[in-house]
A and B are shown apart, each in its own frame.
Chain A
């Protein structure tokens, strides 16, 4: 199938190096300590963060650092077929783990020993790139909750179809079965904290695709920073500072 036309346009009208429209909103769940909604095109994810708080299960206590827990789920209405999905299936468990490990890498857990931080992410609408959207939403929610982090971790995916590296695959492109690299970076520290790919890619092409994903992550980081700054200004304004 032709995913990039000879005119250089993808099926949805984007060019290979273009991301979908992104949109973020902080404070969607007022009860939570921090929350955010993150959209990448038609992929929409909500994240809520509770903590740092007292451990619910004392046996899990780690004396030197905070315990980070993550629960990922997909709303039944998030895909076209509205299938009822059982919680805790293998895919959800795996993504929960991926998100937890990625977030753990940027949270300064040693500052909050003997406490726990819960991150809940739910996919409201899925159109490819849900992993990345979840990580971005979680970052925003953590920042909103005021949890100390060494950097804002951001994530973006890139793929390789019709011998062209493509940024931010949507569902149709994702289902083509080509390589799909999900990358998470700490933009300020310039470090990669997450790199996932299920298929094979020659190393030189992987480098190109990864570079593209890094550019995507950086663009998202820039946007997230703007959103946070705007949010802080709003808070200042409301408090009359």
Chain B
């Protein structure tokens, strides 16, 4: 049966055109009940014993998704019209409800009511789209009741009063979510319910504690029509709000229409917007632009936001964003060059669930009742969230997940509801779990479908592999690997032979992961999604299942393994004469650790072949390295920390800086060279669909804090090019040996991180990798733990004609989205790694108060930030207590970057060494934090 839908549509240019779409109505859409006698039950999803079938209204799916995710909700029919409405309103919820529908353990059935001949409804004249859709839902519910007969009760769940009333009039059983959940007799489910915004009067109890706050706090959001016209006329600007991770009162809106970032200061200007929301922002008059208080650690009103001790940042992406220091040029009344603004409306919310804990509070009198509590997210960018709970006692010392529901103008904080408990605060496993959830890392075991893609174990190189013409037999070569001690996922191995003509043959052999991970398989899909392995202090979350990671792909010593090899002929001056690429079979003769390799090279008595190879390679690597540095590659430094972990309790035993040896640099050099060679090869063959990695040149503004600091200590840095910067970093030598490293650490954190991209999306000059001073770069050498390398392996194989290019490479959009996902995963993996180190640092210092040296890295009006090189952490040291703040005892000399006591008796200047005391304190029960104090 055919039905033509006709509707008017406004085009982008503002013209109104009539659109005509065909709409086929079908007889072959089934009800999904296995006990149905009429329908084909092969695709049935409802349970065979269902006594009640729930039909959900759109508002229920949109608002109560946390409830729906609970397995207690069973036998649900999700109508296609509901899915469509949800998709248009909130894509995140749509994806979640789709995930429930496709989960074989749940019995949610999608009924395509819009295409069913009997449940399709035509829009009546004068009927709004909403009314029509509500009617469609009722018609579908009615159809189910008639279709399934009296054996089953069909219940329409809706929170829309009008819809419920009409349903009852039409003889459909209808209930609100609240009454349905109450009828289930499961009080724990009630916490999952989202309270409608209109019931907000309940919250007065909490509000009463702050009588002054019972007024309207935030200005009204403008209606959508006004925002649209404002955007059109250029009064408002649209963009995504990004909140400063280290100062939640400062946010930025990157707007294309203004071509710059608009700063938003303070909660009232932010006007209830969350990080990641798409907002409309209005630029404030120019004279209000300098309203920033960049020099003190911002505190707002009674809000108790303390700057925490955290791991020292490794790049600009980790670092607190500081406004350019004002007054450094000596001018008075400098107005910030960046526009400031306030948010007038929110175009799209980015609300999801957040992990954290409840703010400590006394138990309310009388137990068992409903308590109101404030939830503090681990992510500092998120404001506190008010929730209602019936289990306060249980939750106070727990890490929990909370979702946001609404935020009205009268309340300081948004309202939300409890979703899930993770575990006890301070418990290492709970906190680690929190790190994973917070960074969206999937640590679930691999599914059986994924594991089914693995080759049968025990695996070994087969005669077919050896006779395969694409694979070269390199087992006779003396190949060895050099990795951190205890490394089990060995991606790379090397060989180096002196050729009769005086040159060297150098080979980099990388685990042939793509021989086992084929495109389109569940294994590949899972790896694409995970993107990278995640290294926490006490555990590793693999991208690929363990048999592949630690055995089949790992290039362990004395076993035959498949590899993808890059083989160069190099002159003794380390010039590459020729490169070739081949799949191969190798047999590693030694798996060395960096320490072992270094010891061998240093021990002049050793003359065995492997040691000789190592020395040859090291001399080549040194030449390659010096040439790279000549080209302008930066030698950057970061403070990497290494824990020694107790094997029994998994508690940290010792902590120290990661030591970089010559052997590390040697391996790194060959990996860089292999990556560059492969990047050239794939780009030559696939100019539009290669996956490369670029590192954007830092802007002068990003380097400003570094320049200020350097200038204060009398060092001039030339940042005109990476070469100039590299040279001036080399010349930045201070009084003490650590000074140069410190400057490099500060330089590193000014730069953003390198990112993956698809070569077709950018023009060749943008491919540049600033840090390595290389026009091209990619990742090829760690396919076991990075998915980008898997993609590059496939590209390389296709460029050699070994295999076809998988179909995703023909779809640029999909390739771009894969690259974006890799960047996102990569970033999250790093954040998780850092969070894990922070967690273990805290656990370590819990029993060990320590005195140590620290360097001042930032001056503030009430103290300074210190960096503790030995432990790689950074944190505030206050000279004044909070109560004394603003008493004027201390003043800041900005030009010299000094903080001085008024009477001149004491002063602290930037990069100065100070002695500090580190101790874990618990200002509130169950909320331990590391405190730094001056000795």
Residues of A within 8 A of B (CB): 5-7, 9, 11-14, 18, 20-21, 41-42, 80-81, 127, 163, 170, 172, 199-203, 205
Tell whether, in the assembled complex, residue A6 and residue B80 are in contact, meaning their CB atoms are under 8 Å apart.
no
Tell me, in angstroms, the Cα distance from A203 to B23 when the chains sit together. Answer: 32
Tell me, in angstroms, the Cα distance from A80 to B110 when the chains sit together. Answer: 33
B24, B26, B112 pick with most chain A CB within 10 angstroms: B24
Tell whether, in the assembled complex, residue A202 and residue B804 are in contact, meaning their CB atoms are under 8 Å apart.
yes
Tell whether, in the assembled complex, residue A7 and residue B2 are in contact, meaning their CB atoms are under 8 Å apart.
no
B649 within 8 A of A: no
Tell me, in angstroms, the Cα distance from A7 to B43 when the chains sit together. Answer: 10
Tell me, in angstroms, the Cα distance from A32 to B115 when the chains sit together. Answer: 41
Tell me, in angstroms, the Cα distance from A20 to B15 when the chains sit together. Answer: 29
Question: B15 contacts which chain A residues (CB < 8 A)?
Answer: 81
Tell whether, in the assembled complex, residue B21 and residue A13 are in contact, meaning their CB atoms are under 8 Å apart.
no
CB distance from B518 to the nearest CB of A (A): 14
Contacts A80-B18, A202-B810; is A13 near B101 (CB within 8 Å)? no
In the complex, the chain A residue whose C-beta lies closest to that of B811 is A178
B102 within 8 A of A: yes
Tell me, in angstroms, the Cα distance from A163 to B519 when the chains sit together. Answer: 13
Question: A11 contacts which chain B residues (CB < 8 A)?
Answer: 21
10 contacts between A and B (CB under 8 A): A9-B115, A13-B24, A13-B25, A13-B115, A14-B24, A127-B20, A127-B22, A199-B810, A202-B805, A202-B806
Tell whether, in the assembled complex, residue B110 and residue A21 are in contact, meaning their CB atoms are under 8 Å apart.
no
CB distance from A129 to the nearest CB of B (A): 12
Tell whether, in the assembled complex, residue B17 and residue A20 are in contact, meaning their CB atoms are under 8 Å apart.
no
Name B65-114 residues within 8 Å CB distance of A: 80, 98, 101-102, 110, 112, 114
Tell me, in angstroms, the Cα distance from A127 to B114 when the chains sit together. Answer: 21
Question: B179 contacts which chain A residues (CB < 8 A)?
Answer: none
CB distance from B870 to the nearest CB of A (A): 53
In the complex, the chain A residue whose C-beta lies closest to that of B102 is A6
Question: B20 contacts which chain A residues (CB < 8 A)?
Answer: 42, 80, 127
Tell whether, in the assembled complex, residue A200 and residue B810 are in contact, meaning their CB atoms are under 8 Å apart.
yes
In the complex, the chain B residue whose C-beta lies closest to that of A125 is B20
Contacts A6-B101, A9-B112, A13-B25; is A42 near B18 (CB within 8 Å)? no
CB distance from B136 to the nearest CB of A (A): 14
Residues of B within 8 A of A (CB): 2, 4, 9, 11, 15, 17-26, 80, 98, 101-102, 110, 112, 114-115, 804-807, 810
Question: B112 contacts which chain A residues (CB < 8 A)?
Answer: 5, 7, 9, 13
Contacts A6-B102, A13-B24, A127-B20; is A205 near B807 (CB within 8 Å)? yes
Question: A7 contacts which chain B residues (CB < 8 A)?
Answer: 80, 110, 112
Tell me, in angstroms, the Cα distance from A80 to B17 when the chains sit together. Answer: 6
Tell me, in angstroms, the Cα distance from A23 to B23 when the chains sit together. Answer: 16
Determine the main DSSP class of A at the interface with B. loop
Tell whether, in the assembled complex, residue B110 and residue A201 are in contact, meaning their CB atoms are under 8 Å apart.
no
Tell me, in angstroms, the Cα distance from A81 to B16 when the chains sit together. Answer: 8
Question: A199 contacts which chain B residues (CB < 8 A)?
Answer: 810
Tell me, in angstroms, the Cα distance from A6 to B100 when the chains sit together. Answer: 13
Tell me, in angstroms, the Cα distance from A202 to B25 when the chains sit together. Answer: 34
Tell whether, in the assembled complex, residue A12 and residue B102 are in contact, meaning their CB atoms are under 8 Å apart.
no
Tell me, in angstroms, the Cα distance from A202 to B798 when the chains sit together. Answer: 13
Contact check: which of B19, B23, B806, B807 meets A13 at CB < 8 Å?
Answer: B23
Identify the 6 closest CB pairs spanning chains A and B, nearest first: A13-B24, A13-B115, A80-B17, A200-B810, A12-B22, A202-B807
Tell whether, in the assembled complex, residue A12 and residue B24 are in contact, meaning their CB atoms are under 8 Å apart.
yes
Tell whether, in the assembled complex, residue A12 and residue B21 are in contact, meaning their CB atoms are under 8 Å apart.
yes
Tell me, in angstroms, the Cα distance from A241 to B717 when the chains sit together. Answer: 103
Tell whether, in the assembled complex, residue B4 and residue A42 are in contact, meaning their CB atoms are under 8 Å apart.
yes
CB distance from B302 to the nearest CB of A (A): 48
Question: A13 contacts which chain B residues (CB < 8 A)?
Answer: 23-26, 112, 114-115
Contacts A5-B80, A6-B98, A7-B112; is A41 near B19 (CB within 8 Å)? no
Tell me, in angstroms, the Cα distance from A12 to B19 when the chains sit together. Answer: 13
**Apart from A12-B22, A205-B807: 7 A-B pairs, beta carbons within 8 A:** A7-B112, A12-B23, A12-B24, A13-B23, A13-B25, A80-B17, A201-B807
CB distance from A208 to the nearest CB of B (A): 12
Tell me, in angstroms, the Cα distance from A203 to B810 when the chains sit together. Answer: 12
Tell whether, in the assembled complex, residue B22 and residue A42 are in contact, meaning their CB atoms are under 8 Å apart.
yes
CB distance from A241 to the nearest CB of B (A): 36
Tell me, in angstroms, the Cα distance from A20 to B22 when the chains sit together. Answer: 9
Question: B110 contacts which chain A residues (CB < 8 A)?
Answer: 5-7
Tell whether, in the assembled complex, residue B26 and residue A80 are in contact, meaning their CB atoms are under 8 Å apart.
no
In the complex, the chain B residue whose C-beta lies closest to that of A177 is B813
CB distance from B421 to the nearest CB of A (A): 32
Question: B26 contacts which chain A residues (CB < 8 A)?
Answer: 13
Tell whether, in the assembled complex, residue B810 and residue A172 are in contact, meaning their CB atoms are under 8 Å apart.
no
Tell me, in angstroms, the Cα distance from A81 to B9 when the chains sit together. Answer: 11
Question: A202 contacts which chain B residues (CB < 8 A)?
Answer: 804-807, 810
Tell me, in angstroms, the Cα distance from A202 to B15 when the chains sit together. Answer: 39
Tell me, in angstroms, the Cα distance from A202 to B689 when the chains sit together. Answer: 15
Question: B2 contacts which chain A residues (CB < 8 A)?
Answer: 21
Tell me, in angstroms, the Cα distance from A163 to B114 when the chains sit together. Answer: 24
Question: A163 contacts which chain B residues (CB < 8 A)?
Answer: 807
CB distance from B83 to the nearest CB of A (A): 8
CB distance from B114 to the nearest CB of A (A): 7
Tell me, in angstroms, the Cα distance from A20 to B9 when the chains sit together. Answer: 23
Contact check: which of B21, B101, B115 meets A172 at CB < 8 Å?
Answer: B21
CB distance from B834 to the nearest CB of A (A): 37
Tell me, in angstroms, the Cα distance from A42 to B25 when the chains sit together. Answer: 15
Question: A205 contacts which chain B residues (CB < 8 A)?
Answer: 807
Question: B4 contacts which chain A residues (CB < 8 A)?
Answer: 42
In the complex, the chain B residue whose C-beta lies closest to that of A6 is B102
Tell whether, in the assembled complex, residue A201 and residue B810 are in contact, meaning their CB atoms are under 8 Å apart.
yes
B22, B114, B804, B810 pick with most chain A CB within 10 angstroms: B22
CB distance from A216 to the nearest CB of B (A): 16
CB distance from B120 to the nearest CB of A (A): 9
Question: B98 contacts which chain A residues (CB < 8 A)?
Answer: 6
Contact check: which of B19, B23, B115 meets A80 at CB < 8 Å?
Answer: B19
In the complex, the chain B residue whose C-beta lies closest to that of A203 is B804
Tell me, in angstroms, the Cα distance from A205 to B26 when the chains sit together. Answer: 29
CB distance from B7 to the nearest CB of A (A): 11
In the complex, the chain A residue whose C-beta lies closest to that of B19 is A80
CB distance from A110 to the nearest CB of B (A): 42
Question: B9 contacts which chain A residues (CB < 8 A)?
Answer: 80
Tell me, in angstroms, the Cα distance from A18 to B22 when the chains sit together. Answer: 13
Tell me, in angstroms, the Cα distance from A199 to B18 when the chains sit together. Answer: 30
CB distance from A165 to the nearest CB of B (A): 12
A9, A127, A205 pick with most chain B CB within 10 angstroms: A9
In the complex, the chain A residue whose C-beta lies closest to that of B83 is A5
CB distance from B813 to the nearest CB of A (A): 9
Tell me, in angstroms, the Cα distance from A11 to B17 when the chains sit together. Answer: 20
In the complex, the chain B residue whose C-beta lies closest to that of A199 is B810
Tell me, in angstroms, the Cα distance from A6 to B78 when the chains sit together. Answer: 13
CB distance from A48 to the nearest CB of B (A): 25
In the complex, the chain A residue whose C-beta lies closest to that of B5 is A12
In the complex, the chain A residue whose C-beta lies closest to that of B11 is A81
Tell whether, in the assembled complex, residue B17 and residue A81 are in contact, meaning their CB atoms are under 8 Å apart.
yes
Question: B21 contacts which chain A residues (CB < 8 A)?
Answer: 11-12, 42, 172
Tell me, in angstroms, the Cα distance from A176 to B80 when the chains sit together. Answer: 22
Tell me, in angstroms, the Cα distance from A13 to B22 when the chains sit together. Answer: 9
Question: B114 contacts which chain A residues (CB < 8 A)?
Answer: 13
A11, A12, A14, A172 pick with most chain B CB within 10 angstroms: A12
In the complex, the chain B residue whose C-beta lies closest to that of A170 is B22
In the complex, the chain A residue whose C-beta lies closest to that of B20 is A42
Tell me, in angstroms, the Cα distance from A202 to B809 when the chains sit together. Answer: 10
CB distance from A181 to the nearest CB of B (A): 14
Tell me, in angstroms, the Cα distance from A211 to B114 when the chains sit together. Answer: 30
Question: B25 contacts which chain A residues (CB < 8 A)?
Answer: 13
Tell me, in angstroms, the Cα distance from A102 to B807 when the chains sit together. Answer: 31
CB distance from B653 to the nearest CB of A (A): 51
CB distance from A133 to the nearest CB of B (A): 14
Tell me, in angstroms, the Cα distance from A238 to B115 when the chains sit together. Answer: 42
Question: A80 contacts which chain B residues (CB < 8 A)?
Answer: 9, 17-20
